Structure 1
């Protein structure tokens, strides 16, 4: 791998304060919840003591919160947040699925000390995401910030919330302690699930890249034709494999009508470091005719790479944060307002 030991294309580790560390833990925990939406409920239910017997005529614990959960979608503000988060169509079914699950019923037998509103909110949204990502078609663009805001709104609507300002992220101290004690038991099963999910997410992108490397000329020509029919100045905005093909085209052919290249979640710098970029041999600089290049990446997106260290002075790397774990982070750019703020400031 020519030069790849330098790792100049990898988003490097950076100094983080305690709040960043908490956010990373939250994002990772969401990754586990997307695979197993009932995980947090199960962990907390396992710590609960046996529920006390009910007095005659008393309502069972959790009945009020379950009833309120079934009316959540009547709240207009929550519906808007669910749409922004990309989970609006799946949320009602997700709520019903969680509430009828045996793990949830056990959790609701003694919910008093467990901040049940926030725990249920996370389970509902994780199940909605699981359903959305399991559908056929392109990977959905799901916004983590809107998801977090939806968690807060749900806790406001459900009885049993712990109070304002306590629901920023999913990992409560109690869950951290419980997860820590069960880490060895969870690690193997979750690692298998994560490996399967990561493989399922990565193999379409890998297959696309391999197809491009063997038959890339037709793809580049399609991009060139789109440039020819557009009114100058042209901006090439390309995601993932599209960034590879667009850069290759601009290296191989001078297109003065293209004023700006914007790659999003691209592997182009990685292929160059491997010596596998078709248009440019490793060690060769970008030709002078290549236009200004903005490279948008998310450090949580394992399929995004940096360009500034690979092509000094020719690439501006711009970080955004989807608040989503991989693989959702690879498609979350398009629902992230940060990306559009970047574009608004850069488009000619």
Structure 2
């Protein structure tokens, strides 16, 4: 958090404190401007940063598609917008072809070279017996040529999931794509000029956003990396600010929580309570990356006995501390109602969960 953003956030926090904790006064500690990571060469290390036209955007979108399909193989089929063809619907036809794909020669030949042909017929049989798959594919619009590719990807994604669950060694991305093409031929083949609707949507979404995502998430990640290399400077900065203000409570967000824990664990302080929000301190401790305490050492006796730690499961930069620091850290799970990265900065406006809990926690 930098400059005007810090000032706006501090004003918001001060207003919330006046509303919920009028017995306290807020003093800011703007370590971001003094210490935070910067792209000192204007982002030249990030492909496509300056123009926003990220290198390999189509490749990145294709990888994103397979990431989504690994979680839900039917996702693309559920959202792809295909008009009904002239004549009979082709979903039932493709579904029958899929049942026959258990013995598709091209697919079996490929799988044989990888030592994976034996389970293929049983896998296809189980998939064809699944009512969810049947209901999804039978109702699809579009022509056979339009359906063959997304259905093939769905089947291959499901097969890759089966391999993972069975503990089988996986296949490469190139092999995966070969299998898709072989299965696609069995399901009706590809037609020239068929637009990849889903990939286009992913590319349209990702292409203008790489610069924005690096600006929004890169600052937090960059600060964490810089802290690992130059953390003492930030810890001393926090200590100086606390001493000058006479603070007895620290309210820290994200990396500020790591630095606050490290500072409090490195010597006796005047601080009576710690409140961390969206912090990675517990995770750093678990992976033995916390500067002040090796994993297993616990916290020293002089560490404040009162530590309130907020995390949102949708905030991928927030972690739980109660089990790692029993008797000291108390976790509060909140729902900021936002996806990441917005979830990481939304705690301060969570009047229903965050501020009432802080009010109850502090004397």
TM-score, scaled relative to structure 2? 0.44
Larger radius of gyration between Structure 1 and Structure 2: 2
RCO higher in structure (CA 8 A, sep ≥6): 1
TM-score by length of 1: 0.46
